[in-house]
Amino acid sequence: MALIVHKYGGTSMGSVERILNVAKRVTKWQKAGHQVVVVPSAMSGETNRLLSLAKEITADADPRELDQIASTGEQVSSGLLALALQAQGTAAISYAGWQVVIKTDSAHTKARIQGIEKDKVLQDLANGKVVVITGFQGVDELGNITTLGRGGSDTSAVAIAAALGAHECLIYTDVDGVYTTDPRICDEARRLEKITFEEMMEMASLGSKVLQIRSVEFAGKYRVQTRVLSSLTDPMIPLDVEMNSGTLITFEEENNMEAAVISGIAFARDEAKITVLGVPDRPGIAYQILGPIADAMIDVDMIIQNQSVDGKTDFTFTVPRSDYQRALDILKSKVQTHIAARDMMGDPKVSKVSVVGVGMRSHVGIASKMFRTLSEEGINIQMISTSEIKISVLIDEKYMELAVRSLHKAFELEQRP
Ligand code: ADP
Ligand code: ASP
Ligand code: MG
Residues 221 and 337 in one domain: no
* Residue 9: CATH number of its domain: 3.40.1160.10
> In ligand 1, which atom is closest to the CA atom of 208?
20
Residues 132 and 211 in one domain: yes
Residue 259, in any domain of the structure = no
Query: 97 CA distance to ligand 3 centroid (A)?
Result: 18
Residue 65, in any domain of the structure = yes
- How many domains would you assign to the chain? 2
pLDDT at position 254 is 56
Instruction: Single out the residue of 174, 235, 163 nearest to residue 13, CA to CA.
Output: 174
Residues 29 and 177 in one domain: yes
Residue nearest (by alpha carbon) to ligand 2 atom 8: 151
Average pLDDT over residues 383-404: 96
Last residue of a domain, one of 254, 272, 302: 254
C-alpha span between 305 and 204 (Å, rounded)? 26
Query: 175 CA distance to ligand 1 centroid (A)?
Result: 7
Residue 244, in any domain of the structure = yes
Residue 224, in any domain of the structure = yes
Query: 182 CA distance to ligand 1 centroid (A)?
Result: 7
Virtual CA dihedral for 288, 289, 291, 295, nearest 10 degrees?
Answer: 130
pLDDT single digits (tens) 112-129: 999 999 999 999 999 999
- Answer whether residue 253 shows pLDDT above 70: no
Residue 128 belongs to domain spanning: 3-254
**Mode of pairing for the β-strands spanning 343-356 and 102-104:** unpaired
**Among all ligands shown, which has an atom nearest to the Cα of 156?**
2
Instruction: Single out the residue of 250, 169, 217 nearest to residue 3, CA to CA.
Output: 169
**209 Cβ closer than 6 Å to some ligand 1 atom:** yes
Query: 210 CA distance to ligand 3 centroid (A)?
Result: 6
Residues 268 and 321 in one domain: yes
Residues 334 and 388 in one domain: yes
Residue 416, in any domain of the structure = no
3-state secondary structure of 352: strand
Residues 216 and 121 in one domain: yes
Ligand 1 pocket test: pick from 173, 200, 211, 232 the residue with the most ligand atoms within 8 Å of its Cβ: 173
> In ligand 2, which atom is closest to the CA atom of 151?
8
pLDDT single digits (tens) 45-104: 999 999 999 999 998 899 999 999 999 999 999 999 999 999 999 999 999 999 999 999
Residues 231 and 307 in one domain: no
Query: 150 CA distance to ligand 2 centroid (A)?
Result: 5
- Answer whether residue 271 shows pLDDT above 60: yes
153: buried, middle or exposed (CB in 10 Å: 19+, 13-18, 0-12)? buried
Residues 53 and 136 in one domain: yes
Residues 209 and 325 in one domain: no
* Residue 275: CATH number of its domain: 3.30.2130.10
Residues 223 and 120 in one domain: yes
The more confidently predicted of residues 359 and 344 is: 344
- Answer whether residue 258 shows pLDDT above 70: no
Average pLDDT over residues 139-158: 98
pLDDT at position 309 is 85
How confident is residue 136, by pLDDT bands cut at 50, 70 and 90? very high
Q: Which residues surround ligand 3, an ion (CB under 5 A)?
A: 9, 151
Average pLDDT, the chain: 94
- Answer whether residue 417 shows pLDDT above 80: no
How confident is residue 384, by pLDDT bands cut at 50, 70 and 90? very high
